[in-house]
A and B are shown apart, each in its own frame.
Chain A
Amino acid sequence: SQKIEQNSEALNIQEGKTATLTCNYTNYSPAYLQWYRQDPGRGPVFLLLIRENEKEKRKERLKVTFDTTLKQSLFHITASQPADSATYLCALPPDPGGYNKLIFGAGTRLAVHP
Chain B
Amino acid sequence: ETGVTQTPRHLVMGMTNKKSLKCEQHLGHNAMYWYKQSAKKPLELMFVYSLEERVENNSVPSRFSPECPNSSHLFLHLHTLQPEDSALYLCASSQDQGPQETQYFGPGTRLLVL
Contacts and interface: CB of A to CB of B under 8 A. Distances in A.
Interface of A: 4, 8, 31-32, 34, 41-46, 49, 51, 89, 93, 99-107
A87 to B, nearest CB: 10
A102 B103 CA distance: 9
Interface of B: 4, 31, 33, 40-43, 45, 48, 50, 55-56, 88, 90-92, 97-100, 102-108, 110
Nearest to A48: B102
Nearest to B98: A99
B42 A4 contact: yes
A40 B98 CA distance: 29
Contacts of A103: 42, 45
Contacts of B104: 46
A49 B100 contact: yes
A104 B43 contact: yes
22 contacts: A8-B40, A32-B99, A41-B108, A43-B108, A44-B43, A46-B103, A46-B104, A49-B100, A49-B102, A89-B42, A99-B98, A99-B99, A100-B55, A100-B56, A101-B33, A101-B45, A101-B97, A102-B103, A103-B45, A104-B42, A106-B40, A107-B42
A109 to B, nearest CB: 10
A49 B97 CA distance: 15
A49 B4 CA distance: 20
Given A43-B105, A100-B48, A32 B42 contact: no
Contact of B97 (A43, A46, A99, A104): A99
Name the 3 nearest CB pairs between A and B, nearest first.
A43-B105, A100-B97, A99-B99
A92 to B, nearest CB: 11
